[in-house]
Amino acid sequence: MKYKYQVIILGTLNESTESIINLFFQELDHLRLPNEFYKIIRKKEIEKEYVGNQPTYVLYFGNSEGKHEDVHYLENLLKDGNTILPIFYNSFKNEIPKLLENQNGLIYDQTKDIKIVNLILESFGRLRNSRKVFVSYKRDESTSVVIQLYEALEKNNFDVFLDTHSIKQGEPFQEELWHRMTDCDVIVLLNTSKFLESEWCEKEIAESGAKKIGVIQLIWPDHKLERMAEICFPRQLFSCDFNNHIFNDKNFSKLVDCTVKEIVQQVESVRARNLASRQDELITNFLNIARKYNKKVNLQPERFITEELGENKRRIFIPTVGIPQSTNCEVSSDLKKEINEYSVDEVYLIYDDLRIREKWLTHLDYLNLHLDVKTIKKQEFESWLQKN
């Protein structure tokens, strides 16, 4: 792929700008994406380096005194259809130029660095756009904190799943619960003293291990770390993390604001790493089976798999974490057009079908009959590669 992903930095720059850029390249490393496909373009380089037909994300940093810099670049960037994220510190109206008044801005503090980086990666398709978090808790111990975290995560554009609120009446509870968990990026576990006494809580942890979903374990002050999840990120809470040091009242306990911000920041960070880990496992499994049947397969730097078919033709396999949607097929079809070094005959999405509801698998089979991009279940890798 000959194009590059462009990140343009404009406005009033400061120390936070460099912090975000450094974190961006750290996350590329965590996702095992090659740096050479990504280009940071600063204001002095924009006229020479910016290419209008390549994927671009613009960060515009506001000015607290209303002295808006680099406004003359924004009009063309907007005309080219680029995403521009205005970043402000106190007042959007005063710090951001009027030209960007219709853009949804982000109020900055240091905990938002990872969110900004993830927004860039999502825009480039390096992270999936859905941002799903499952919260596991014991209802009679931590209801008030769950509501607080739900609101904070939702405010930060996460789709939060609670088993008590998110499953419609009349749906098969366990089947729908496991299906929804499959599509989550992170599990936030509120490890209160009697958490494991709940049969459902214990089952949820077992499912997270089977699906390799990362678990952020929030350990209550009167409790200790439980070695219960395969991929676990523990955080010990102390009484000072709670308003008025009250942590054992299910209706009135609340976390202090700075602790909530740090938890949201950790969810952002764990999400990116865990998606990469689940994708890696899918890739490794597929490659091992393909090579068993002497397929000429290679993993490309952009994290999709190609198979050589001869006569400069290939087919490509794109690993998809969670539950495939028709939009995944559309994005993958666009990728086929972007690859111009060789002819792409076929495009496939490969995914782990463990615990996905049968009605959704039937829907994906239906799409296979009507769309150019097909899906292949993990449990069918062996039989599919043997026959094709």
Q: Are strands 305-310 and 313-320 parallel, antiparallel or unpaired?
A: antiparallel
Q: How confident is the model at residue 108 (pLDDT cuts 50, 70, 90)?
A: very high
Point out the least confidently predicted range of 7-21, 37-51, 100-114, 189-203: 189-203
Sheet of strand 186-191: strand arrangement: 159-161, 132-136, 186-191, 214-219, 232-236
Query: pLDDT exceeding 90 applies to what percent of the chain?
Result: 49
Radius of gyration of the chain (CA): 23
Tens-place pLDDT, residues 354-379: 888 899 999 988 988 888 889 999 99
Looking at residue 229, its pLDDT comes to 58
**Total number of residues shown for the chain:** 388
CB 347, CB 313: distance < 8 Å = no
Looking at residue 179, its pLDDT comes to 85
Q: How far apart are CA 129 and CA 17, in angstroms?
A: 23
Inform me whether the pLDDT recorded for 222 exceeds 70.
Answer: yes
Domains 5-123 and 132-273 share a fold: yes
Tens-place pLDDT, residues 137-154: 888 888 899 999 999 999
CA-nearest of 164, 211, 219 to 189 is 219
Q: How far apart are CA 102 and CA 128, in angstroms?
A: 24
Looking at residue 166, its pLDDT comes to 60
Domain boundaries, the chain: 5-123, 132-273, 293-387
CA-nearest of 278, 282, 374, 304 to 333 is 374
Selecting from 2.60.40.10, 3.40.50.360, 3.20.10.10, 3.40.50.1260, what CATH number does the domain 5-123 have? 3.40.50.360
Inform me whether the pLDDT recorded for 168 exceeds 70.
Answer: no
Point out the least confidently predicted range of 24-38, 41-55, 319-333: 319-333
Q: How confident is the model at residue 383 (pLDDT cuts 50, 70, 90)?
A: very high
Selecting from 1.10.3720.10, 3.90.420.10, 3.40.50.10140, 3.10.50.40, what CATH number does the domain 132-273 have? 3.40.50.10140
pTM: 0.81
The label of the residue with tokens 């599919």 reads 384
**Structure-derived torsion over alpha carbons of residues 5, 8, 14, 20, reported in degrees to the nearest 10:** -20
Q: What integer best gives the mean pLDDT of the chain?
A: 87
Three-state helix/strand/coil letters over the chain: CCCCEEEEEEECCCHHHHHHHHHHHHHHHHCCCCHHHEEEEEHHHHHHHCCCCCCEEEEEECCCCCCCCCHHHHHHHHHCCCEEEEEECCCHHHHCCHHHCCCCCEECCHHHHHHHHHHHHHHCCCCCCCCEEEEECCHHHHHHHHHHHHHHHHHCCCEEECHHHHCCCCCCHHHHHHHHHHCCCEEEEEECCCHHHCHHHHHHHHHHHHHCCEEEEEECCCCCCCCCCCCEEEEECCHHHEHHHCCCCCCCCCECHHHHHHHHHHHHHHHHHHHHHHHHHHHHHHHHHHHHCCCCEEECCCCCEEEEEECCEEEEEEEECCCCCHHHHHHHHHHHHHCCCCEEEEEEEEECCCCCCHHHHHHHHHHHHHCCCEEEEHHHHHHHHHHC
Looking at residue 117, its pLDDT comes to 95
Q: Mean pLDDT across the stretch 32-47?
A: 91
Q: Mean pLDDT across the stretch 33-46?
A: 92
Q: Mean pLDDT across the stretch 316-337?
A: 72
Tens-place pLDDT, residues 339-351: 655 677 788 999 9
Looking at residue 216, its pLDDT comes to 93
Q: How confident is the model at residue 181 (pLDDT cuts 50, 70, 90)?
A: confident
Point out the least confidently predicted range of 86-95, 102-111, 163-172, 319-328: 163-172
Q: How far apart are CA 187 and CA 169, in angstroms?
A: 23
